[in-house]
Structure 1
């Protein structure tokens, strides 16, 4: 029950009606007996500054941040986690220090970590947008053998690869056109698809790689979580490759935010069960 001592955390974005975060976090608070509540707030871009200042004044403890605020919100914070600064986007705020974090990339790393490690692996990242950027910097931190960033707009791939190199986290990053993905996947240990291909309602899109171009030792992660089994993951299963579902990244980035706000270990099993129920899986 919400009362005068309940700590409020939430989500800011525009829109926020589609979010699966509130049930996941509120189930976690209930499981641990924490007097917290997670609330989504629809904040128009022109109201972002007043929303952040107002939240601080209202003693709100933390926010998740989604589209379109992940970049613009940074100017209203006092501190940035080093990797969030490199990524240039924030998806989590801790109002204790007015500090911004980016947990998107770590969500992906932990999802893949359920089946394999990143260290010394040859990794192909499809796409060069915001999600790819967050993931690529976190990958670089894990000492992979190589990261190949492939995109339709090759200049975006080049720009991201150069930014990752300039971070000094790794030298082993390059870029190319996504049209050449089959050649890269044949030598890859891990394929991460950060593109929206196959996302609902476009569930019949053509997969970016077909089963015949995959191998059984490949780990395939699609960050799209609706549908749960995307066209790419269907092809991976056909090829005998190991699928990593998008719901796992959603789960682990949320768990990381939970731990930043509460200082408690997130009950990941309860959060996953709630997510699956919310998504009808």
Structure 2
């Protein structure tokens, strides 16, 4: 029987997940399809029940549902539980829905694919404290990145993240702007700069060091305002494509038991988005 998969979010038209997964299905010879479904926050529970009733094999979860979906799942793995966020759901043989978080590991694989793993003792600044930020923070810490600072417009969310992480610091956006040259790795995890939203920066990054590594988890557009400013300063830029592909590949492995061709997909999407 043909399997089908989906991605849910609001908005969802910008997602490249259907193209990515459908390409992998064809390459790997799986009789499967993947579709985007726009789900408004107030309809989330009904949507989850409907997906299960209709026999979805699995689905991805994107903004703004990564944390709010948890009460509607039958179980979540320890990593997702620790992070408080889910971006991948597997429908088990008994019909139960199990949540995972592949964002964080996908980000670390992408980062170290670009710059190696020798910077784990360097100071890291994370901009944002949402579901994706939580996943990335825990994955970074698990890989040995201990010196993590979080800044967020709502400081209480940043404090919640650092409390859950068990180590690190919280600073305001204003402090982050003034102290930016102290950070070797700067990770922009908010939705600022998405092609459907306001094309903006979270705060001034004029003080960023040219020796810094600037990463944005937004992949569409490929070069966000944050990354454009970083390029102009001379910093090393890590686009969101690598994280997007690797988190999708880990989800694919959860669903189908094998890891797809990430190198080909990174090249294809980078060329397309350029």
Structure 1 and Structure 2 fold alike (TM over 0.5) = yes
1:217 is matched with which residue? 211
Rounded Cα–Cα distance in structure 2 between residues aligned with 1:224 and 1:41? 19
Indicate if the aligned counterparts of 2:126 and 2:149 stay in contact, CA closer than 8 A: yes
1:239 is matched with which residue? 233
- Aligned to 2:69, what secondary structure does the other structure show? helix
- Aligned to 1:253, what secondary structure does the other structure show? helix
1:130 is matched with which residue? 131
1:52 is matched with which residue? 48
Larger RCO (CA within 8 A; separation ≥ 6): 1
Indicate if the aligned counterparts of 1:185 and 1:214 stay in contact, CA closer than 8 A: yes
Does the C-alpha gap of structure 1 residues 26 and 146 become closer, same or farther in structure 2, counting only changes over 3 Å? same
- Aligned to 1:186, what secondary structure does the other structure show? helix
Deviation at 1:112, TM superposition (A): 0.9
Does the C-alpha gap of structure 1 residues 31 and 231 become closer, same or farther in structure 2, counting only changes over 3 Å? same
State the Cα deviation string for residues 231-263 of structure 1 (Å, max 9, x = none). 322232233321101222222211111111111
Figure out how many residues of one structure are paired with residues of the other and give that number: 268
Indicate if the aligned counterparts of 1:24 and 1:271 stay in contact, CA closer than 8 A: yes
Does the C-alpha gap of structure 1 residues 163 and 205 become closer, same or farther in structure 2, counting only changes over 3 Å? closer
2:39 is matched with which residue? 43
Indicate if the aligned counterparts of 1:23 and 1:275 stay in contact, CA closer than 8 A: no
Rounded Cα–Cα distance in structure 2 between residues aligned with 1:155 and 1:138? 21
Aligned counterparts, 1:13-92, within 5 A: 13-92=9-88
> Which ranges in structure 1 are unaligned for 5 or more consecutive residues?
166-170
1:153 is matched with which residue? 154
1:168 is matched with which residue? none
Indicate if the aligned counterparts of 1:22 and 1:40 stay in contact, CA closer than 8 A: yes
2:104 is matched with which residue? 105
Say whether 1:187 aligns with 2:186: no
Which 4+ stretches in 1 moved above 4 angstroms? Answer: 44-47, 204-207
2:3 is matched with which residue? 7
Does the C-alpha gap of structure 1 residues 83 and 239 become closer, same or farther in structure 2, counting only changes over 3 Å? same
> Which ranges in structure 2 are unaligned for 5 or more consecutive residues?
none
Please identify, of 126-135 and 141-150, the stretch whose mean Cα deviation from structure 2 is larger: 126-135
Name which of 245, 254, 263 aligns with 1:269. Answer: 263
Indicate if the aligned counterparts of 1:14 and 1:43 stay in contact, CA closer than 8 A: yes
- Give TM-score scaled by structure 1 length: 0.84
Deviation at 1:63, TM superposition (A): 0.6
